[in-house]
Amino acid sequence: MTSFARTAPARTWSADPYTHALRTGRGPLFLRRSDGWLLPLDIERWCARADAADLDVLRRCEGPVLDVGCGPGRLVAALGEQGRPALGIDVSEAAVARTRQLGAPALHRSVFDPLPGEGRWGTALLIDGNVGIGGDPRTLLARTARLLRAGGLLIAETVPVPDLDERVLVHVTDAHGTEGTPFPWARIGTAALLRHATRAGWRAVAQWTAGGRSFAALRTRSAHSTAEAPNSTAVMSSQRARKPSGDSPVAER
């Protein structure tokens, strides 16, 4: 296991073979560790429409949603279809282009870059392993907290091994052995994530599994004395289709 102290991820997701896989919507595609271990990447699911597990996540979202590492944009597009304000960000130009082709807003930026609406987002998403961005969960949690409003919600997808807390150097590779540039990544289970989050001042409000995937919901510090569970129907009823206004983070570019 290798430890990394970085404030921003390398922009290696912009390079082939990830770009090629996004353009075709097909794999196989893997994260490869330096010891040869391979983690399959579910590129076909990422390029498809939001599935039942995804929609369950979106029902829990509150306010304007920032999808960190949006990939080809299925979640941002699904939120847009529901009339809910959302923005995707990704370091891959191909991912941003594909998201925009779906009619969804996306910016070619890292989560560590200056972003629209900092401190005003209602929900941040770290789905499809994106809690591993930068290889340092504590740094990522601290950055995400600065993006959210007080009491804001973070929904993260974790690995199905609760105590796993792995910092590794990986690169993207395909079935032909074509490799991208190595970059730091983290793989973290729910229990390990909650330990990091508690130390950083987050409040755990929910954890669940759906479609064989694991998720956790956290809140930033707020003036409220009790932790509220992620809202679903109440939030949905208050967010009927509307255009982003000047007060919405999504309206800023």
CA angle at 87 for the pair 82 and 91, rounded to the nearest 5°: 140
Closest residue by Cα to residue 39 from 186, 155, 206: 186
Bridge pairing between strands 165-174 and 29-33 = antiparallel
Q: Where are the domains of the chain?
A: 51-169+184-224
Closest residue by Cα to residue 91 from 110, 75, 74: 110
pLDDT tens profile 120-143: 999 999 999 999 999 999 999 999
pLDDT band with cut points at 50, 70 and 90 for residue 26: very high
Mean pLDDT of 170-178: 91
Q: At what angle do helices 137-147 and 190-199 cross, to 10 degrees?
A: 60
With 50 as the cut, is the pLDDT of residue 80 above it? yes
- Residue 102 CA to residue 194 CA, distance in Å, equals 34
Report, at the CATH architecture level, how domain 51-169+184-224 is classified.
Answer: 3-Layer(aba) Sandwich (3.40)
